Amino acid sequence: MEQKEQREKIYLSSPTMHGEEQKFVAEAFDTNWVAPLGPNVNNFEKEMAEYTGCGYAAALSAGTAAIHLALRLIGIQPGDIVFSSDLTFSATCNPICYEKGTPVFIDSEEDTWNMDPQALKKAFEKYPQVKAVICAHLYGTPAKIDEIRALCDAYRVPLIEDAAESLSSTFRGQMTGTFGDYGIFSFNGNKIITTSGGGMLVSSDEKAIEKARFLSTQARDKARHYQHSQLGFNYRMSNVVAGIGRGQLIHLEEHKRKKKEIYRQYKEAFADIPALAMNPMNPDGDANNWLSCMTIEPESGVTPDMVMDALEAENIESRPIWKPMHLQPFYENCDFIAMEENGSVGERIFKKGFCLPSDIKNTPADMELIIGIIRSFFV
Ligand SMILES: *Cc1c(COP(=O)(O)O)cnc(C)c1O
């Protein structure tokens, strides 16, 4: 039987390796710094701190672990209220529950799809006892982080910036992840740079980052015998994994340029179709466009599912928008703060939006194919 030649799958956002990664990994092997820690970990932290201007960084096994440790460092206790972005990946808020805190979800704004500062203000008025705020920069678009920071300062509440998706994005020239008391990054497989899996906790507070390193390596007290006066975690990044990160970091700005170009091409290609809009940019920011997203107006009669099905039939990966946390069965008993009486901005974006293939290895032919499939629904 003759098989029809299959074009290679077009991915949403798959790892892009360059070669330097292997050099750093090989170094780890050659010097037998395979485990536990070692020069790649220290250097990756230093290089990330320099690149972002965050001050200090602790390399960890995941972005989720970084959020968890930030909450530990802040001292979240059972029953404490923590505000969280609503339209985001569940990893943003799950660590609140690891500490038995109580998440309260804050609706998004149309302007950036991120936490609405007005809804945040409303939440502070309702829960002045709140202990922390976690704000994500969705799909790499910076939130109105100056307004969010100012509100947190006014209420003297620490801010954790979930910059897992926004590494290299800036707000008024400053890197996202460096506005909060703590910032976190992720190097998961589909992020703008990857270590196969990993994360980083950053802060301008050197002592806090030292403490994070201590907590992430089982919280061993300074003693020859194994002594623990605090609860520890096994959250540290390995020296092999950090080697991949160092190699990737060299190419971060290049990845960003390519991601921005993909967004630009989509925006231009659909500009003449009134039912379609790209995810909005923050005019005060420079996004990394980690994932390009679009919305389809329901009046067009075309749904995101129809388009995603058509792409899938051509072996092209796309993805729905994150389902808002206040609509998740696990979080159904949590409070949700929105500026609208009925429904929410987040739910509307979830229903009419989806993520476009944003892989930086997409060829011009791939882009043409994707754009053609989507346009065929409208013209
Ligand atoms: C990927 C992601 C995380 C979690 O990062 P991991 O490294 O996978 O644990 C957290 N928040 C957001 C918004 C993410 O997209």
Please check whether residue 196 is in contact with residue 67, taking contact to mean a CB–CB distance below 8 angstroms.
no
DSSP 282-294: PTTEE---SS-EE
**Å from CA of 30 to ligand 1 middle:** 32
Ligand 1 atom at minimum distance from 138 CA: 13
Helices (H) and strands (E) in the chain, counts: 12, 15
* CA distances, 301 to each of 166, 279, 298, 304, 350 (Å): 33, 20, 6, 10, 17
Classify residue 226 by burial, with Cβ atoms within 10 Å: 0-12, 13-18, 19+: exposed
Using CA positions, which residue lies closest to atom 6 of ligand 1? 63
Please check whether residue 261 is in contact with residue 327, taking contact to mean a CB–CB distance below 8 angstroms.
no
Residue 72 main-chain phi, psi, to 5 deg? -65, -45
Ligand 1 atom at minimum distance from 88 CA: 13
Measured from CB, residues less than 6 Å from any atom of ligand 1 are: 62-64, 88-89, 91-92, 136, 162, 164-165, 186, 188, 199
First-residue to last-residue Cα distance in the chain? 38
* CA distances, 262 to each of 20, 293, 317 (Å): 24, 11, 15
- Half-sphere exposure of 114 toward its Cβ, with a 13 Å CA cutoff? 28
Q: Which residue segments constitute the domains of the chain, with CATH numbers given? A: 20-249 (3.40.640.10), 252-375 (3.90.1150.10)
Q: Which residues make beta-bridge pairs with 247?
A: none
Pairing of strands 170-171, 285-286: antiparallel
**Å from CA of 34 to ligand 1 middle:** 25
Closest CA to 295 of 310, 307, 283, 312: 307
Using CA positions, which residue lies closest to atom 14 of ligand 1? 164
Please list the pLDDT of the chain residue by residue as tens digits (379 residues).
445 567 899 999 999 999 999 999 988 888 877 666 789 999 999 999 999 999 999 999 999 999 999 999 999 999 999 999 999 999 999 999 999 999 999 999 999 999 999 999 999 999 999 999 999 999 999 999 999 999 999 999 999 999 999 999 999 999 999 999 999 999 999 999 999 999 999 999 999 999 999 999 999 999 889 999 999 999 999 999 999 999 999 999 999 999 999 999 999 999 999 999 999 999 999 999 999 999 999 999 999 999 999 999 999 999 999 999 999 999 999 999 999 998 899 999 999 999 999 999 999 999 999 999 999 999 8
Ligand 1 atom at minimum distance from 67 CA: 10
pTM of the model: 0.96
Kindly report the length of the chain: 379
Q: Residue 340 has which token pair?
A: 């609208």
Q: Which residues make beta-bridge pairs with 338?
A: none
Ligand 1 atom at minimum distance from 190 CA: 1
Distance (Å, whole) CA 297 – CA 292: 17
